[in-house]
Chain A
Amino acid sequence: MSAALLLALPIAMFALLAVCWPLRHTGRFAGMLSAAVAVACFGIAVALFASGRSELYEYPWLVRSGHVIASVGWRLDPTSASMLIVVTAVAACVQIYSLGYLSHEPPKDLGRYFAWQSLFIFAMVGLVVAPNLLQLVGCWELVGLCSYLLIGYWWRKPSAGKAAVKAVWVTRFADIGLMTGIVVLYGATGGFAWDHVLAPQVATAVAALLFVGVMGKSAQMPLHVWLPDAMEGPTPVSALLHAATMVAAGVYLVVRAWPIFHAAPDVLVVMSWVGGVTAFTAACIALVQTDIKKVLAYSTCSQLGYMIAGLGSGEMLGGYLHLTTHAFFKALLFLAAGSVIHATGTNDIREMGGLWRKAPWTAGLFGAGTLALAGIPGFAGFFSKDLLLEELFEAGRYGPLVLCLAGAGLTAFYMTRVMCLVFSGEQKERVHHAHESPFVMLAPMLFLSVPAVAAGWFAGPFAERLGLEYHFSVTPVGGIATIFALGGVGLGVARYGIGQLTWLAWPAAATFLASAPVDRLWAAAWRQGLLPFARAAGWFDRYVVDGLINLSGWVALEGGERLRLLQTGKVRDYVYAAVVGVVLLAAWGAMQ
């Protein structure tokens, strides 16, 4: 068994669904097949991780005169093996869950959905096991494509199409940085490997450029604007792509290219600040959202900010650990939110309330995810966030640390707000007809709730496997974070559960911080900057590039039109021409 199987199975599934349309159009059966493949992938990933094997296979892809320019293949090491488990576990859960969540979809659309889900697993696995930056970027674009396709799954809805296009625009814009960084890296080392020793200036340039791409993919301020809109896709898609795996690809890139980033301390400082600002601001925006998925989307931005900030401290473990725990509990939260939406038929948390009587399992699972996300001691999010904050403290990044600590309190508060508004209180009209989700949806959530609750306890062995060390210890920073988290939960319950402290209404200040200004800025930049540029480029192409080609065609046509007059078709004229030619030749010969 090898990592190749993890690449081959999903792409074979995708090819089967893409080519064999009668199978695709069965919808439900195609979905079951695809889900079975995803589960098999999860099994393989677990077996690979358990075996602790390292594998490196590189197939020379671009070869010029014996020199390998680029290669593709797979690199299996503790980092990629652990990430593979995260990806395949969440993917398998999401696919099984989708069978229930999308059971009312037309079979044709459902088949299409599962084809793309399989393609996504392939792309994400390819990204995780990439042996060099070139393959990583190729798969990076492929997951971006899957993101576009799956956000636009309900493409008949104009907002879904626009959201899909927006996601592409923003991430592509950031990818300019990524591409440039890779070109600079190639220029400096003649390859795409990330473990070369680089000169400090080169490392700084490459790391800074790569980080621009990371900001786009991992939705860091101010490039986060696409992620909330991406919630137009089906909820399982949001859970898999826009919470657990794809948006974490940016963080994973930093983890993989750690030698480059580690050699660029200036970039690390910028990273911790960008991460801190994102963690705090996105948490502020999440406070005022009324769409349950938007709350979780901004929460994802915020948590990705934590990861980036943690990596910015110069230590890798905290950020990476938070990536893995976050993947589990945020996927759980999204699936539970999907269950809520499935039950009530609305995304608006103001129309919900008292749902826990109708859907106790969903309520319990959402609660477990909330506790993990809020960083309540004992749950997964606590350990990773604690470690991350401790790393920031030890690196002396006090500014980002304060932002992250404040964000921790806000996180607990806004999640409690959602819990209280959705599950407690009196039942609103929508909730009267609500029902608990079927087992096919609850089972994946139950499965995910295990790591969401308990993953933190295995941080020690996990770190050991990565060749790092982790010991849990009670520290002042962790204490403050815990107090903030508990305080956030307490205030949230007081405000939204009991109905006290109504002055905690988060008025103008929070709304001002809401995404609208940033969003408008980008919209203006797009409309005033990019579109005119595109128009100018289009004009240049149409009238200058095409013009030159058309001119050459016109010259040939017109020239032919003129020259045809010489052809009279009369025999004697040709004879005259021959005689004149002979005379001229004779004259020329006489002059020689």
Chain B
Amino acid sequence: MTLHAVLIVAALMFCIGLFGVLTRRSLVSVVLSVELMANAANINLVAFSRFGNHPWGQAMALFAIALTVAEVVVGLALVILIARTHGSTDADVPSALKG
């Protein structure tokens, strides 16, 4: 297993996540996709830590996971709020920012 292979997996995961964010209409799927992108970054951190023989990357990844949890909580709370006010979790329904 080389660093290259791991980085490619992480890049693929990031792209899948980005694709999900850009294409999915359901807000829950969008939050899931954002999770995917965040974890791709975590894989990168762990990979550099493992192949670079330095523990800081792993520590960083742990912090990032903890923060991602908080982010997901906030994100899902927003989704619930939107679902309550608009009666749907479709990302295209809220359009108050339309000029």
Contact = CB atoms under 8 A, between A and B. Distances in A.
Interface of A: 563-572, 575-576, 579
A576 B99 contact: no
B66 interface: no
Contacts of B92: 570-572
A568 B21 contact: no
Contacts, number: 33
A572 B30 CA distance: 10
A570 B21 CA distance: 13
A566 B99 contact: yes
Contacts of A579: 18, 22
B2 interface: no
Contacts of A565: 99
A569 B22 contact: no
Most interface-central of A563, A566, A568 (chain B CB within 10 A): A568
Given A575-B22, A579-B18, A569 B91 contact: no
A570 B22 CA distance: 11
Interface string B25-52: 0000010000000000000000000000
A570 B95 contact: yes
Contact of A568 (B18, B30, B91, B95): B95
B78 to A, nearest CB: 11
B5 interface: no
B95 to A, nearest CB: 4
B94 interface: yes
B1 interface: no
Contacts of A563: 99
A571 B92 CA distance: 7
A576 B95 contact: no
B15 to A, nearest CB: 11
Interface residues of B, number: 12
B98 interface: yes
A565 B99 CA distance: 6
Contacts of B97: 567, 569
Contacts of A567: 97-99
B74 to A, nearest CB: 15
Contacts of A566: 99
10 closest Cβ contacts across the A-B interface?
Answer: A569-B98, A567-B99, A564-B99, A569-B95, A569-B97, A571-B91, A570-B92, A575-B21, A568-B98, A567-B97
**Interface of chain A, helix or strand or loop or mixed?**
helix
A569 B21 contact: no
B96 A569 contact: yes
A81 B78 CA distance: 87
A576 B19 CA distance: 11
29 contacts: A563-B99, A564-B99, A565-B99, A566-B99, A567-B97, A567-B98, A567-B99, A568-B95, A568-B98, A568-B99, A569-B95, A569-B96, A569-B97, A569-B98, A569-B99, A570-B91, A570-B92, A570-B98, A571-B30, A571-B91, A571-B92, A571-B94, A572-B21, A572-B22, A572-B91, A572-B92, A575-B21, A579-B18, A579-B22
A571 B23 CA distance: 11
Nearest to B97: A569
Nearest to B25: A572
Contacts of A568: 95, 98-99
B22 A576 contact: yes
Contacts of A570: 91-92, 95, 98
Nearest to B34: A575
A59 to B, nearest CB: 59
A570 B95 CA distance: 6
A576 B18 CA distance: 10
Nearest to B82: A571
Nearest to A574: B97
Given A568-B95, A569-B98, A579-B18, 6 more contacts: A565-B99, A569-B99, A570-B95, A571-B91, A572-B22, A575-B21
Contacts of A571: 30, 91-92, 94
A57 to B, nearest CB: 66
B97 to A, nearest CB: 4
Contacts of A564: 99
A514 B98 CA distance: 78
A563 B22 CA distance: 23
B43 to A, nearest CB: 19
A564 B98 CA distance: 8
Nearest to A560: B99
A331 to B, nearest CB: 76
Contacts of A575: 21-22
A569 B22 CA distance: 15
B31 to A, nearest CB: 12
